[in-house]
């Protein structure tokens, strides 16, 4: 019997078969969960729907997390179809490329707000809606990166947004944990080649450095992140909340100046 047998969960942020969300979806499906998905716009629906159907999903709906009305409509459909649910995986981020690659001191108000809204606040916005239809003792997981803690060249504004996301994870964990027994965690993955990753400056070099600095001496896979996330979604992690859980994020061995990667 799988560790998610009998559980229903949302996977938010699937774009294509390279997405971290796809690694998570496959692991959760293998472990017995019934899954629901969102997609962003018609273009992505063409890619998301066939993937979601591969893991036997029948709940595949549009949702832009930048729009409150779309979020309300999405969660209303989830409630209509499922009634209650058990877990939610948030694997969503967006920032304008300039905000990652330009010197951070040049970040505009607009770029700062957009990255914060889609990459950090959207987790809070999803959590508040999901909690209303989540069974007590459920689980929420978001995806973060080491750039929240250390300066990673080329990551810029997204590092600042991930710091806010990690802090939001802890505050949500305390709030929903004490009131409802709902656990909230973040998974911090090493770099993986995805659509979102293509916005990061000099990603090839980042992957090479990350592999050298990791405990395992290599980069991690989408499947490894998926397995860790499935564990956090499951009752096996019933005592784990408010944590940033690393999947060999790199730069822990032989790092240069504290807090700045060269």
Taking the CA atoms of 50, 35, 245 and 132 in sequence, report the sign of the dihedral they define: positive
Instruction: Give least dist CB 59 to ligand NAD, A.
Output: 16
Residue 15 contacts residue 51 (beta carbons within 8 Å):
no
Binding mask 130-149 for ligand NAD (x = CB under 6 A): -------------xxx----
Instruction: Give least dist CB 239 to ligand NAD, A.
Output: 24
194 binds ligand NAD (CB under 6 A): yes
Residue of 3, 7, 9, 19 that binds ligand NAD (CB under 6 A): 19
Part in contact with ligand NAD (CB under 6 A); list of ranges 27-35, 107-115, 194-202, 250-258: 194-202
Residue 79 contacts residue 133 (beta carbons within 8 Å):
yes
Angstrom distance (rounded) from CA 67 to CA 132: 19
Residue 63 contacts residue 125 (beta carbons within 8 Å):
no
Give me the half-sphere count of Cα atoms (radius 13 Å) on the Cβ side of residue 109.
0
Binding mask 81-120 for ligand NAD (x = CB under 6 A): ----------xxxx-----------------------x--
Q: Is 143 helix (H, G, I), strand (E, B) or coil?
A: strand
The residue annotated as part of the active site, out of 145, 171, 231, 246, is 145
Residue 191 is classified by DSSP as: P
- Footprint of ligand NAD (CB under 6 A): 13-15, 19-21, 40, 44, 64-66, 91-94, 118, 143-145, 189, 191-192, 194-197
């Amino acid at each position: 019997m799988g560790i998610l047998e009998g559980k229903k969960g949302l996977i938010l942020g699937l774009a294509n078969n390279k997405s971290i969300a796809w690694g998570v979806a496959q692991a959760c499906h293998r472990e017995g969960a019934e899954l629901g998905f969102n997609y962003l716009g018609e273009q992505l629906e063409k890619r998301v729907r066939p993937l979601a159907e591969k893991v036997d999903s029948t709940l595949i709906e549009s949702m832009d997390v930048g729009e409150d009305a779309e979020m309300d409509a999405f969660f209303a459909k989830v409630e209509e179809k499922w009634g209650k649910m058990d877990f939610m995986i948030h694997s969503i981020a967006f920032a304008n490329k300039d905000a990652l690659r330009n010197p951070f001191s040049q970040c505009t108000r607009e770029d700062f707000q957009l990255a914060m809204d889609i990459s950090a606040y959207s987790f809070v916005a999803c959590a508040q809606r999901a909690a209303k239809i989540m069974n007590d003792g459920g689980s929420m997981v978001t995806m973060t990166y080491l750039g929240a803690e250390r300066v990673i060249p080329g990551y810029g504004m997204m590092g600042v947004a991930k710091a806010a996301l990690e802090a939001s994870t802890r505050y949500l964990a305390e709030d929903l944990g004490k009131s409802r027994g709902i656990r909230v965690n973040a998974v911090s993955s090493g770099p993986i080649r995805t659509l979102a990753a293509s916005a990061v400056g000099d990603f090839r070099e980042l992957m090479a450095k990350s592999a050298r600095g990791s405990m395992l001496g290599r980069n991690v896979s989408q499947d490894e992140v998926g397995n860790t996330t499935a564990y956090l979604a499951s009752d096996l992690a019933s005592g784990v909340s408010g944590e940033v859980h690393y999947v060999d994020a790199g730069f822990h061995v032989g790092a240069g100046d504290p807090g700045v990667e060269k």
